[in-house]
């Protein structure tokens, strides 16, 4: 590290438990967030946004959830991708069934739905831990992969197996569908990850 926290004394417990206790860390995070919101949408092309940065942010959102489970609770889960898929498919189905509802509300409802499915798989696993919990969550991962690949209802009986999201607007800017720009999609995902990470 090129800096140290020498001279930055903590006099309260609240100051000692800050998210970024070192001043240089706080400034570094603010610079990275500002760069992500201001500079990247201006200089990145569609390939970088669509193929690299948006999936990176989505996977980092899944890593935040896995950090709660593994880092704070000490439980090992191998089915995080399956529960993430439950949230994604439930959000897609809610958007197609309720086209006039706010996108943010549908994202929150799909997160609650994914948490409910996680409870259904988690309650039988309450008495197991360690390796056995990892195997139980891995079984959930394989089940969801099979379910979403075989049941055509999840992708509206499309012959290609791909989902087609209808156009949804947020503050009169299209954020989903074929007319949404990659910059708009990037900003939506970045806002969600930033709010949930901080």
Q: Is 12 helix (H, G, I), strand (E, B) or coil?
A: coil
Identify the pLDDT of residue 2.
Answer: 58
What pLDDT digit, counting tens, does each position of 31-71 carry?
999 999 999 988 989 899 889 999 999 999 888 888 888 88
91 touches 110 (CB < 8 A): yes
Give the single-character DSSP code of 129.
-
Report the pLDDT value the prediction gives residue 57, as an integer from 0 to 100. Answer: 92
Residue 4 is predicted with a pLDDT of 60
Residues contacting 23, CB < 8 A, separation 6+: 8
pTM score, whole prediction:
0.77
pLDDT tens digit sequence for 11-24? 777 777 777 777 77
Q: Tens of pLDDT along 122-148?
A: 787 777 766 777 888 888 889 988 888
Q: What is the pLDDT of residue 106?
A: 87
pLDDT at 1 over 60: no
What tokens were used for 7? 């001279």
* Cα 114–Cα 91–Cα 107 angle in degrees, nearest 5: 80
- Given this model, what pLDDT does residue 34 score? 92
Question: Strands, E, within the chain: which ranges?
Answer: 168-170, 173-176
Choose between 84 and 122: higher pLDDT: 84
Residues 4 and 24: their CA atoms lie apart, in Å, by 9
Please give the helix or strand (H or E) that residue 175 lies within, else none.
Answer: strand 173-176
pLDDT at 130: 64
- Cα 1 from Cα 96, distance rounded (Å): 49
Q: Return the pLDDT at 173.
A: 80
**Which sequence spans correspond to the domains of the chain?**
20-74+183-198, 77-166
94 to each of 2, 76, 77, how far by Cα in Å?
48, 30, 27
pLDDT at 6: 64
What percentage of the chain exceeds 70 in pLDDT?
92
């Amino acid at each position: 590290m090129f800096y140290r926290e020498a001279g930055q004394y903590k006099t309260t417990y609240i100051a000692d438990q800050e998210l970024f206790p070192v001043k240089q860390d706080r400034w570094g995070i603010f610079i990275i967030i500002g760069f992500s919101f201001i500079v990247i949408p201006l200089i990145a092309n569609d390939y970088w946004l669509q193929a690299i940065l948006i999936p990176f942010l989505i996977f980092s959102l899944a890593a935040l959830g896995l950090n709660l489970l593994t880092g704070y609770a000490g439980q090992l889960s191998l089915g995080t991708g399956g529960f993430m898929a439950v949230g994604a498919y439930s959000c897609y189905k809610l958007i197609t069934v309720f086209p006039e509802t706010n996108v943010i509300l549908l994202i929150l409802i799909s997160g609650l739905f994914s948490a409910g499915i996680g409870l259904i798989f988690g309650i039988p696993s309450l008495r197991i831990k360690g390796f056995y919990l990892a195997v139980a969550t891995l079984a959930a991962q394989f089940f969801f992969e099979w379910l979403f690949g075989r049941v055509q209802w999840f992708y509206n009986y499309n012959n290609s197996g791909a989902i087609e999201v209808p156009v949804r607007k947020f503050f009169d800017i299209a954020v989903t569908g074929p007319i949404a720009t990659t910059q708009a999609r990037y900003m939506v995902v970045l806002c969600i990850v930033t709010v949930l990470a901080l």
